[in-house]
Structure 1
Amino acid sequence: MTTSHIPRNVRREAIDQAFAVYDSGQLLEDLARRVGFRTESQNPARADELRAYLTDEMTPTLERLGFNCRVAENPVAANAPFLIAERIEDPALPTVLLYGHGDVVRGYDEQWRAGLAPWQVTVEGDRWYGRGTADNKGQHTINFAALDVVLAARDGKLGYNVKVIFETGEEIGSPGLGEFCAQERAALAADVFIASDGPRVSAERPTVFLGSRGDINFDLTVDLREGAHHSGNWGGVLRNPAIVLAHAIASLVDKRGAIVVEGLRPPPVSDAVRRALTDIELGGDDDGPRIDPDWGEPGLTPTERVIAWNALEVLAFKAGNPDAPVNAIPPVARATCQLRYVVGTDSANAARYLEAHFARHGFSEVEVSVERIAAATRLDPDDPWVDWVLSSMRVTAGKKPALLPNLGGTVPNDVFADTLGLPTLWIPHSYPACAQHAPNEHLLGSVAREALGVMAGVWWDLGDDARRIVELRASSVNHRVSA
């Protein structure tokens, strides 16, 4: 009996080849080499390493895949260059824009536990330890390894164009990224944006998120007088700025942490967002913190509070000298606070809302200083690209992926969604307890292997479906405009 008439499942073969990249040790070898670059963007002494990561590591990798590459200077930060690459098969084909960042947070070498070091990958069971294994070197290494496999499986023709932008300043707030993308809008023009950063909802469940919460960092200061005064001689007749500021902060939220300043609250959770979150449970990983079920906005699930609502946090509070207290009433108290917020929040007027609130409640001494605003973004969960990517991932992984309308944290998605005007799909390859930004950062090998298959499926399916999805989106937009 002959089987020559049975068609080969080339998609499945490509995915198996992606798994082989993991099984052979090639993924580990590539990642170990990249982790060895000490690309701490918070450390000015590492400027040469940041540039070398682009010129000596990522440029040869992309050129081998047929990309034309150029390193470009940052218009704002001299030590945070960019890499732009493109692989154009036909200008008439759809184009996908990929993103990654080569920088990492400080290594904190001395804080890693015995047997581990930030600048080399150490494998212990399922854990691959090293700075950048989870954020972001491991994630973009997976994506390009999977693209390499699909390119070979399709005999050198993907059926779409690919562009890439790498930055080296994400861990210091992506300075210059917005300005650079605005300048390079034509070079970065595409039909869809796909990238990987942040964690899955859990290690076991492939995840897509469509944007991120924004954040507003602001300082609150109560400065009452020059110099400290003895608490025995003056206690009871001098206002204590720490007490005044503590009451002012407490007036912003109720006793369970729900925001009471109307201007800082978001619009009601939409039905589409609520549907997307119905089967997603926050936490569950062994190393994750225990959730406080009664903290935050009432009437919402814990997942909705993180993904679909706003949270006001106190990040730091200082009065006097906490490390060596003395018997004195301090003259000044200061708190650094943060509002994590979702789409629909009037973020531009946050300072005005805070000042008006403090005035109404008799806290005229509180000075408000907004330090930074990062925009909130969210692709419509009903966008055709969303159903497409979920279907691709489901077929490959054999399980239902999780859909997050937005990440609880913040990534520079506004640059791609707003400045470049692209639908944005983020497919993370880390997990919540990866110790991102902390000592002992790690990637799970099991997640990396599954992610290689998932991304190979995505890159394969783009070749079959990208043109159809682009046309479907265009017809949908035209229909809405005509209506």
Structure 2
Amino acid sequence: MTSSAHTREHAIELAAQHYRSGAFLDILGRRVAQRTESQNPECAAALHDYLRDELQPVLQALGFTCRLLDNPLAGKPPLLLAERIEGASLPTLLSYGHGDVTSGQDDLWQDGTAPWQVSVKDGRIYGRGTADNKGQHSINLAALEAVLQARAGKLGFNLKMLFEMSEEVGSPGLEEACREHAQALAADLFLASDGPRVRHDLPTLFLGSRGVCQFRLVLDTGNGSRHSGNWGGIITNPAIVLSHALSSLVSANGQLLLDFLKPAPMSEAVAKLVRELPVGGESFDPQLDPNWGEPGLSTGEKLFGCNTLEVVGLSAGSTVKVIGAIPGRAEMVCQLRFVPGTDWQNLAGHLRAHFDRLGLQDVQVQVEGGYAATRLDPSHPWVGFVSRSVGASLGQPVSILPNLGGTIPNHCFADVLGLPTVWLPHSYPSCKQHAPDEHLLESIVEQGLRAAAGLFWDLGEPALYPAGMLPARREERLATLQD
């Protein structure tokens, strides 16, 4: 007979107690206090220290062997690889997290909160990195510890974890590190936590992410700023030219105008998953515009199944200290978010040819990089396994997204390492990540601890594995173990 101290329910209860006891907030507070801004050159030492002094001792105490990996790109932060191998015949899970954060924006937080200390107000846990990503990987580490305690120091599967410190600046070197250390990172399955749920009260899985390609449009006339009365009407105004360049790409209501920007046709399987998903509508969410974006689609289809072009930066002259001068230079930064099937790698050439046809040869196109779009087949058995596990732990249905609306470096794991990828997010869309007042919801933390503990427990139960979840070689070994 199984002891009550060695059950799934006990593991989940231990994880839940981790929050109720205050231990989670203590640990998260220590991690948030470390100013790991990856955009800030003054924080270079802190990025290294977070891996070496914060995460490595915790992982070693959980039975992991750890080593710091030099970033393949010179001058970029290192990575941490931790592995816990219980048996060569056992399935292996790879997980991931990042310890870097965006700028603290210290002076813009509401009274009673601050970026580098944890504070709890009205069910919200404030602090930079609480949602992205220190809080999320802290939930998974705490759940892992609970399962190890409930199982007397065993998981029943192998686990590898990879942590980086430059996700907020585009994960430079992560793809190269995955290629360089592909053998050390070899696994059967991938699961990690980042990004938001569909809604704060809906447990969610997502199976990939939209890709992103950032590009800059620049027009520098070489004239410098010139008096708008003395020279207006006879010299080029670069702001006007760029405005027309933009209007040739996207309409006034956000609809893409060119075929090379548009997505591949949405499959019915994807449309069925996202068509009725609730998006926004809460008091803390931004106001949605039903007339924005591609016509004839639901909000869910627009957000998760389509491409979008957004202007994220725009400059010409000054709107603060206005002077009566035609600016000599104008530029805008755009991001194309896209689903699989988009020819994003040839975006620069497509844009160049398009602008040339319009007579806009002087508009420079500077592509600044991007990530590929990824999407695991929703029918993959790994998706069903995780969904059933999380649903059983939380007692409610789980929403499944074919891909996140935003972009994360999932291509490193799906494409480079060839793994089936599932993400279990422990945040929600209005968490204000990257902005002042970033926070986690206490309710999601408590659910996240329970969901992750149940999932780590179930991974140690071979009888629960459906056929086809693991590669063939693992299926054969697993069958031997079950016999």
Normalised by the length of structure 1, the TM-score is 0.94
- Residues 1:374 and 1:327: Cα distance change in structure 2 (over 3 Å): same
Taking the aligned partners of 1:267 and 1:445, their CA distance within structure 2 comes to 39
Q: For 1:323-360, what per-residue CA distance to the aligned partner results, in whole angstroms no more than 9, with x for missing partners?
A: 32322222322111111111110011111211222223
Taking the aligned partners of 2:258 and 2:2, their CA distance within structure 1 comes to 69
- Residues 1:57 and 1:6: Cα distance change in structure 2 (over 3 Å): closer
Tell whether the 8 Å contact from 1:200 to 1:431 is kept in structure 2 after alignment: yes
Cross-structure match for 2:294:
297
- Give the percent of matched residue pairs that are identical in Structure 1 and Structure 2: 52
Cross-structure match for 1:48:
45
Pick the aligned partner of 1:282 from 279, 282, 294: 279
For structure 2, list consecutive stretches of 5 or more residues without a partner in the other structure.
Answer: 476-483
For structure 1, list consecutive stretches of 5 or more residues without a partner in the other structure.
Answer: 479-483
Taking the aligned partners of 1:66 and 1:227, their CA distance within structure 2 comes to 62
Q: For 1:51-77, what per-residue CA distance to the aligned partner results, in whole angstroms no more than 9, with x for missing partners?
A: 221111111111111111111221214
Displacement of 1:5 in angstroms is 10
Cross-structure match for 2:478:
none
Pick the aligned partner of 1:270 from 245, 259, 267: 267
The answer as to 2:205 corresponding to 1:202 is: no
Cross-structure match for 1:413:
410
Cross-structure match for 1:34:
31
Q: 107-116 vs 145-154, which deviates more?
A: 107-116
Tell whether the 8 Å contact from 1:94 to 1:466 is kept in structure 2 after alignment: no
Cross-structure match for 2:350:
353
- Report the 3-state secondary structure (helix = DSSP H, G, I; strand = E; otherwise coil) of the residue aligned with 1:385: helix
Taking the aligned partners of 1:332 and 1:9, their CA distance within structure 2 comes to 67
Tell whether the 8 Å contact from 1:94 to 1:467 is kept in structure 2 after alignment: no
Q: For 1:252-299, what per-residue CA distance to the aligned partner results, in whole angstroms no more than 9, with x for missing partners?
A: 112321111111111111111111113411113322100001100111
The answer as to 2:165 corresponding to 1:168 is: yes
Pick the aligned partner of 2:190 from 186, 193, 209: 193
The answer as to 2:18 corresponding to 1:21 is: yes
Taking the aligned partners of 1:427 and 1:330, their CA distance within structure 2 comes to 47
Pick the aligned partner of 1:237 from 234, 242, 251: 234
Cross-structure match for 1:146:
143
Q: 219-228 vs 43-52, which deviates more?
A: 219-228
Taking the aligned partners of 2:113 and 2:3, their CA distance within structure 1 comes to 50
Aligned length: 475
Displacement of 1:380 in angstroms is 1.1
The answer as to 2:378 corresponding to 1:381 is: yes
Q: Match for 1:287: what amino acid?
A: F
- Residues 1:303 and 1:28: Cα distance change in structure 2 (over 3 Å): same
Pick the aligned partner of 1:447 from 441, 444, 447: 444
Tell whether the 8 Å contact from 2:91 to 2:474 is kept in structure 1 after alignment: no
Displacement of 1:417 in angstroms is 0.8
Q: For 1:221-241, what per-residue CA distance to the aligned partner results, in whole angstroms no more than 9, with x for missing partners?
A: 223342333222232233322
Displacement of 1:49 in angstroms is 1.6
Normalised by the length of structure 2, the TM-score is 0.94
Cross-structure match for 1:81:
78
Displacement of 1:395 in angstroms is 1.0
Cross-structure match for 1:481:
none
Taking the aligned partners of 2:36 and 2:244, their CA distance within structure 1 comes to 42
Q: 281-290 vs 221-230, which deviates more?
A: 221-230
Tell whether the 8 Å contact from 1:193 to 1:422 is kept in structure 2 after alignment: yes
Q: Match for 2:300: what amino acid?
A: T
Q: Match for 2:193: what amino acid?
A: S
Displacement of 1:212 in angstroms is 0.8
Taking the aligned partners of 1:476 and 1:220, their CA distance within structure 2 comes to 50
Taking the aligned partners of 1:112 and 1:381, their CA distance within structure 2 comes to 40
Q: Match for 1:191: what amino acid?
A: D
The answer as to 2:119 corresponding to 1:116 is: no
Tell whether the 8 Å contact from 1:285 to 1:433 is kept in structure 2 after alignment: no
